[in-house]
Amino acid sequence: MALLVSRFHPVHPQHIVASPMTLKARLKGINLYLVGMMGAGKSSTGIALAAALGYQFFDTDAVLEAATGHTIPEIFAQQGESAFRQLETEVLAELSTYKQLVIATGGGIVLRQENWSYLHHGVVVWLDVPTVVLKQRLAGDMGRPLLQVSDWEDKVEQLHQQREHLYAQADVRVTVTEGEEIDAIATRTLDLVAARILPTS
């Protein structure tokens, strides 16, 4: 699927956090991929990270919707989860060919082994948020097809248990605390990425 990413208008960050130029230089254009559960704050954190690094920000769900002309719930309802996962892989594959991107991925992108071949083109960051916080954020969210069930809170727990060991394959784990501000999360993420890729003195 030709997504024509260059023609898709990414979100341009407005609030700038401090940019560690040494880290940007060391990254040499390598992308950052944010993984984690739905409701983890990947998009909002990704925007702040992109601002700090002077990168562009993309959300795989948003790119997928723009490319297909359908919302995620519509794709799930009309084509099923398997079709959605295939489209998601195609989006990720194309985005991975670009540089200087911060990419927020869907919560289930870690399920396909094929996707890891693309994720490993860059630095994979897991935003690890407690399930109690996820439930607070996701309550009443009608845009999450997998949660449109009566026992949605149990579903959140189930998905977290199923995916946690996959998220743990990320290069960097950022443990997010309740009430933590986006700028603080972004700054800490950059510090952890730097510690991962920069040589120690």
Residue 98 lies in a domain: yes
CA 149 from chain centre, in angstroms, equals: 24
**Per-residue pLDDT tens over the stretch 109-161:** 999 999 999 999 999 999 999 988 888 887 766 667 766 777 888 888 889 99
Structure tokens at 16: 């700038």
Residue 9 lies in a domain: no
pLDDT at 165 over 50: yes
pLDDT at 14 over 70: no
SS3 per residue for the chain: CCCCHHHCCCECCCCCCCCCHHHHHHHCCCCEEEECCCCCCHHHHHHHHHHHHCCEEEEHHHHHHHHHCCCHHHHHHHHCHHHHHHHHHHHHHHHCCCCCEEEECCCCHHHCHHHHHHHCCCEEEEEECCHHHHHHHHCCCCCCHHHCCCCHHHHHHHHHHHHHHHHCCCCEEEECCCCCCHHHHHHHHHHHHHHHHCCCC
**Per-residue pLDDT tens over the stretch 15-59:** 433 445 688 888 999 999 999 998 899 999 999 999 999 999 999
Residue 10 lies in a domain: no
Residue 23: predicted pLDDT: 87
The angle formed by the CA atoms of residues 132, 134 and 136, to the nearest 5 degrees, is 75
Residue 135 lies in a domain: yes
Pairing type for strands 101-104 and 32-35 reads: parallel
Residue 39 CA to residue 63 CA, distance in Å, equals 18
Residue 173 lies in a domain: yes
* Count: domains in the chain: 1
Domain that holds residue 94: 24-194
DSSP run (H or E) holding 91: helix 81-95
pLDDT at 9 over 50: no
Residue 135: predicted pLDDT: 84
Q: If phi over 0 gives left and psi between -120 and 50 gives alpha, with beta otherwise, what is residue 179?
A: left
Residue 1 lies in a domain: no
pLDDT at 61 over 80: yes
**Per-residue pLDDT tens over the stretch 92-112:** 999 999 999 999 999 999 999
Average pLDDT over residues 7-18: 41
Residue 52 lies in a domain: yes
Write the CATH number for 30. 3.40.50.300
